[in-house]
Structure formats: structure tokens, C-alpha cells
Structure 1
Amino acid sequence: MNLKDKVKALVDSELSQQESLFLADLSVGADNSIRITIDGDNGVGIDDCIQLSRAVEGALDREEVDFSLEVTSFGATEPFVMARQYAKNAGRTVQVTTTDGHVHEGTLKGIAEEQVVIEVESREPKPVGKGKHTVRRALSFPLSDIKETKVIIKF
């Protein structure tokens, strides 16, 4: 079993005890630098990262292989890597880039049956009279048509 498979098994075992946490990314560099990124349905605290780090480090033998270990939480500006993150971020403003290059910004309504739904607003001419009014409409995208989705943080 290679180092990445061993670490993945350790992470899966540890995270199975905390149903709200999940693995977002795992990489092992050529120099045995291990980087684990976790996310959670209710967020990730520093204690969650520490606990996972201790569990993985305690199970690996430094005599067998020299390694460095970094456990981090999923960043607020990182693109989503799994469907579970869409449900977690419902209600937030997101930017969805589709595989055909179109970019859509709106409020994430959620995900159902592999379809991501966002609500977008646009100013359009009134059907009668002068001026414009705000129109809201829902856009739906199959997960397979999404290249990248990021949370937009507004201050």
C-alpha cells in the first residue's frame, strides 16, 4: 500500500466518527509532504484539524517513511470539489462557471438530483411603460456542465 492510500484509509476511518466532516482533498508530494483538506456541513474548527492531524501522524511511522503533514479546512474562496458542498452553502452568493465558459452569479438555492439551482437577478425593461424592474429567475445546471463554483464574499 502506497503512502497516499494509507493516509486516505486513516482519514476515512477518523472522519467516519464525525459524520458532519468530509474529505475535500488529499495530496502527497514527491517529498512525502501530505496535505489534507477537510470540510464540514457545519464548518470546520481548529480542534477538528488538530484531532485529524494527531490521528494520522500517530498512525504513521516516521522510521518507515519521513513525511510532513498539513491538515487544513476548506477555504472560503476555494472552488467546490463535491456535490455535498452545494447543500452546505445554500443561501450564499456564488459564481458558477459552466464548461462552455459562461459565468453566472446568483444565490445558491441548493442541489437536487445532480442539478444545481441558483437564483439570478437582472434589471429588464418593464413590459408596459418606461423604466426597468428587477426580475428574479432560477437557473438550473447539471453538475456535469459545471466547470467551477465559488462562493462570492461581499463586504
Structure 2
Amino acid sequence: MSTTQIDRLRELLEPLTGKRGMDLEEIAITPAGRRRVLRVVVDADQGVGLDACAELSRVVSAALDETDLMGGTPYVLEVSSPGAERPLTQPRHYRRAAGRLVRAQLHQGGELTARIVAADDTGVDLEVPGEKGRKPTARRVEYDEIARARVEVEFNRKDPKTGGVDRDATHRSQEEA
């Protein structure tokens, strides 16, 4: 059975990320002139900050230096967290986006923009905004009904506790963009 370079990298890196409470979301190798870029994307329930990315980058670099997985061609290692508008593809992505506004394309056609209230292993509970002054409505959508979904960036997201603008969320959204 043949394994790809990405598979071998995943085998090496998943234990390193798991030990730090992170999920290994993506590994990509792309050419960049005479060298390559090895992009490692990680996420965690509490998010991943710059310090965590820098520490993981040092650990990954040391682990790669002990192997020949990247071959002899020079490469640049990038360790980052997912972007603000990353696609939601796993139940954990929806769970981590609780409270956020999402836009989903449904398999049966149509588009839905709603706020995630909760998510579990089979689907997501949403609050669909009311139109023309009507109250929001609750809706349950199973994952197999969703063709694709992504978080919408909100620069003036309301604080669910006070109903006012969540200045920290606004600041975080601007940093992520």
C-alpha cells in the first residue's frame, strides 16, 4: 500500500498537534520558485494564537529535521490557524463557530444565512433572523443537507449577553480579515 507525502506528514504531525490540544486541519505543499511552502493549518476549541503557532512551528521544524519527509529541496514552513471565512466541513468546525453568523448552501437548493446556536455530531441548530421586524426562528439542519457553509465576517457583531456591539469580537474580526 502506497502512502503519499501528505499522509506521511499527517502521521508525523498529528501526535504533535494532538499533544497540544490542537486539531491538524490541513497540510499543503505548494511550489514557490526554487523551493516549496509547507503549510500546516491547526485549530482548537479555544482558538489558536500566535504564540501557540510559533511554538508548534519550532516543534514541527525539529521533527521534520529528524526525518527525510521533505526531501532535499528547500522549503518554508508556515504554521497558522484557519482564516476568518474558512469553510465549515466537520462537526467540530460548527461547534467552534457557535454564536457566529454562517451562510450555507443547501443540497436541495437555496441559501441560508443564520446564527449557530449549537452543534452536535449530526447537525446544527440555527437561529434564522426574522425579516421585516419579525422575530428570529429556530431551525435544525442536518450536516447531510448542507452542500457547503462558511462563517460570515461581522464587524459589528452583537454581544449575546448585553445586546450591544461586542467590541472584542469586532477587534478579533478585523484581525482575522
Normalising by the smaller structure, the TM-score range is 0.7 to 0.9
The 3-state SS of whatever aligns with 1:26 is strand
- 2:77 paired with 1:77: no
The 3-state SS of whatever aligns with 2:130 is strand
Is this contact kept in 2: 1:24–1:81, CA < 8 A?
Answer: no
Which entry has the higher C-alpha Rg, 1 or 2? 1
Give the length in aligned residue pairs.
146
- Picking from 92, 96, 99, the partner of 1:88 is 96
Inter-CA distance 108–137: structure 2 relative to 1 (3 Å threshold)? same
Gapped regions of structure 1 (runs ≥ 5): 125-132
CA distance in 2, matches of 1:135, 1:76: 28
- 2:106 paired with 1:102: no
Following superposition, the deviation at residue 32 of structure 1 comes to 4.7
The residue number in structure 2 matching 1:130 is none
Higher helix proportion: 2
Query: TM-score, structure 2 length as denominator?
Result: 0.72
The 3-state SS of whatever aligns with 1:41 is coil
CA distance in 1, matches of 2:50, 2:131: 43
CA distance in 2, matches of 1:34, 1:110: 34
> Structure 1 residues 114-123 or 63-72, which shifts more?
63-72
The residue identity in structure 2 corresponding to 1:48 is A
Gapped regions of structure 2 (runs ≥ 5): 156-177
The residue number in structure 1 matching 2:139 is 139
Task: String of CA shifts for 1:64-101, please: whole Å, max 9, x gaps.
Answer: 43233211111111112321011111111111221234
Is this contact kept in 2: 1:39–1:74, CA < 8 A?
Answer: yes
RMSD after superposition: 2.3
Is this contact kept in 2: 1:79–1:148, CA < 8 A?
Answer: yes
Higher relative contact order (CA 8 A, sep 6+): 1
Following superposition, the deviation at residue 2 of structure 1 comes to 4.3
Is this contact kept in 2: 1:97–1:103, CA < 8 A?
Answer: yes
> Structure 1 residues 29-38 or 107-116, which shifts more?
29-38
The residue number in structure 1 matching 2:25 is 24
